[in-house]
């Protein structure tokens, strides 16, 4: 009987953008066996950093280490025939293949699902790309910033009232994370269907669409009201804004429901401005926010961030601080929940990093092994698993295939 949710599943991963790596991380952390097939010079994320002391080192890239715990690494040059044959052998016994190699390049490498379904009809083949595998922009090149722009997110982010400031990226490769979580989700859907049908299938994920699908209410403002969106989206209700507290920290002031606003007015000791008609409800406050904002600003500036956060939450008003990373790492709440995990990396040392995105009562989330070093599992996978002899592995190595 399996103990982990995804125990017994084998996933082969080829990562270029972080999306395939995040998809397979989600599965690996729930117990799936994940074999990373890396080019001879490594997954590109090994060169991305951040690095300790800003000194690049293939075994110290923070992005790579974070995304690749629990995985095994095999180096393989899949642009050569012998390299592709080894990949074919790995796919023959796998449950899922997750890759984010751009469609044209995947075609030229012979990475076509149709070819593999004959040798492994149960294989779930998940192909992630920036723009999907069809349509006029299929072969457009993209990095996270341009994918977020094409998906509609960048347009929403920026500072209202400063038309000279550009649309802005959110922190982190969010198009990769979103394509990754969608790919993991769709892969699991296909694996569940396989329990019923006995057959695998081809799953295609477009990173652009993953972003367009989550634009809150801003997309709908066009088909519903012919209203184009503005920087910082539509904020049809107020207050929803940042203010600086007297200790220099920032608090996010938010009332979604009217009863929350009424309790905020109480907390503010019912100032006159809060009783004006232009503050009467959440929609009216939104239209008049420029006039109301200075009053709120002055009130907030009398508090420290933490005092105001606790006082608001005491009254069940959904304020939140703009947390720094050190505040999060020191948070008593997150400590009590055991969120962060400490991992010892062979080259980068001990690092405390984000842990489980959710906790399951019967099956663990855990980092059993740190991210692999480049080619760490070549012998175990190529020799023990695929049955290649020492000489054959050597000849792959000698030919610079693995």
Partner 1 sequence: MPGPLEGIRVADFTWVWAGPTCTMQLAHMGAEVIRMESMRRICTLRMLPPWPDGQPGINRSGYFNQYNQGKRSIQLDISKPEGTEIAKEIVARSDVAVENFASNVIDRLGLGYEELRKVKPDLVMISMSGYGRGGPESSYVSYGPAQVPLSGMSQLTGYAGWQPMHVGMSYGDPNAGLHAAFAVLSALFFRERTGKGQYIDMSQQESTMAVLGEGFMEYEMNGAQPPRDGNRVARMAPHGVFMCAGEDRWLSIACATDDEWRALCGVMERPELADDARFRSLADRKANEDDLEAEIMSWTLTQDPLEATERLQAAGVPASPPLMNRELAEDAHLRARDFFVKREHPEVGVRQHAGIPWRMSETPCEVWRAAPVMGQDNDYVFGELLGMSIEQIADLKNRQIAY
* Binders of partner 1 in range 109-168 (CB under 8 A): 113, 131-132, 134-137, 140-159, 163-168
Query: Of these, 24, 72, 129, 182, which contacts partner 1 (CB under 8 A)?
Result: 182
Q: Does 348 bind partner 1 (CB under 8 A)?
A: yes
CA distances from 347 to 52, 57, 70 (A): 10, 9, 16
49 binds partner 1 (CB under 8 A): yes
Residue 374 beta carbon to partner 1: minimum distance, rounded to whole angstroms: 18
In the list 79, 275, 313, 389, the residue contacting partner 1 (rule: CB under 8 A) is 313
24 lines the binding site for partner 1 (CB under 8 A): no
* 208 vs 376 by CB, closer to partner 1: 208
**What is the 8-class DSSP label of residue 78?**
T
60/401 with CB nearer partner 1: 60
Number of residues that bind partner 1 (CB under 8 A): 155
Of 205, 300, 381, 393, which one interacts with partner 1 (CB under 8 A)?
Answer: 205
Beta carbons of 83 and 76 less than 8 angstroms apart? yes
Q: What secondary structure letter does DSSP report for 44?
A: G
Q: How many CB atoms lie within 10 A of CB 161?
A: 9
250 binds partner 1 (CB under 8 A): yes
**What is the closest distance, in whole angstroms, from the C-beta atom of residue 319 to partner 1 in the complex?**
7
- One residue of 42, 83, 103, 355 binding partner 1 per CB under 8 A: 355
| CA nearest neighbour of 67 among 19, 108, 104 | 19
What is the bridge-based pairing of β-strands 250-254 and 240-244?
A: antiparallel
Pick 308 or 382: Cβ nearer partner 1: 308
What residues numbered 61-90 form the site for partner 1, per CB under 8 A? Answer: 62-63, 65-67
Instruction: Enumerate residues 6+ apart whose C-beta is below 8 A from 227.
Output: 221, 234
- How far apart are CB 378 and partner 1 at their closest, in Å? 26
Q: Which is nearer to partner 1, 139 or 379 (CB)?
A: 139
Query: Cα torsion at 332, 337, 340, 341 (round to 10°)?
Result: 130
End-to-end alpha carbon distance in the chain? 35
CB 207 within 8 A of CB 128: yes
Cα separation, 399 vs 402, whole angstroms:
8
User: Candidates 33-41, 72-80, 180-188, 386-394 — which segment interacts with partner 1 by CB under 8 A?
Assistant: 180-188
């Amino acid at each position: 009987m399996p103990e982990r949710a995804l125990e017994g599943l084998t996933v082969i991963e080829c990562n270029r953008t972080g999306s395939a790596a995040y998809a397979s991380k989600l599965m690996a952390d729930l117990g799936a066996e994940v074999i990373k097939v890396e080019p001879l010079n490594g997954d590109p994320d090994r060169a991305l950093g951040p690095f300790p002391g800003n000194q690049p080192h293939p075994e110290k890239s923070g992005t790579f280490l974070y995304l690749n715990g629990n995985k095994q690494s095999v180096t393989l040059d899949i642009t050569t025939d012998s390299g592709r044959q080894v990949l074919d052998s790995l796919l023959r016994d796998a449950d899922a293949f997750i890759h984010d190699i751009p469609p044209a390049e995947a075609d030229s490498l012979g990475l076509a699902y149709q070819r593999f379904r004959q040798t492994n009809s149960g294989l779930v083949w998940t192909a992630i790309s920036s723009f999907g595998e069809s349509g006029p922009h299929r072969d457009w090149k993209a990095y996270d910033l341009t994918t977020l722009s094409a998906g509609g997110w960048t347009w929403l982010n920026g500072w209202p009232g400063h038309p000279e400031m550009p649309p802005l990226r959110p922190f982190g490769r969010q198009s990769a994370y979103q394509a990754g979580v969608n790919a993991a989700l769709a892969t699991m859907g296909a694996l569940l269907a396989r329990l019923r049908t006995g057959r695998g299938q081809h799953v295609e994920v477009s990173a652009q669409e993953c972003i367009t699908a989550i634009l809150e209410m801003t997309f709908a403002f066009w088909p519903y009201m012919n209203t184009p969106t503005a920087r910082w989206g539509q904020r049809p209700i107020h207050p929803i804004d940042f203010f600086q507290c007297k200790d220099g920290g920032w608090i996010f002031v938010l009332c979604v429901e009217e009863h929350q606003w009424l309790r905020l007015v109480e907390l503010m000791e019912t100032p006159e401005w809060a009783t004006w008609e232009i503050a009467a409800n959440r929609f009216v406050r939104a239209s008049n926010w420029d006039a109301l904002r200075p009053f709120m600003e002055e009130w907030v500036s009398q508090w420290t961030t933490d005092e105001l956060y606790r006082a608001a939450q005491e009254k069940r008003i959904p304020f939140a601080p703009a947390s720094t990373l050190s505040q999060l790492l020191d948070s008593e709440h997150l400590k009590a929940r055991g969120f962060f995990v400490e991992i010892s990396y062979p080259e980068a040392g001990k690092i405390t990093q984000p842990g489980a995105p959710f906790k399951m009562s019967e099956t663990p989330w855990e980092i059993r092994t740190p991210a692999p070093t480049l080619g760490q599992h070549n012998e175990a996978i190529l020799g023990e698993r695929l049955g290649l002899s020492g000489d054959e592995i050597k000849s792959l190595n000698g030919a610079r295939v693995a």
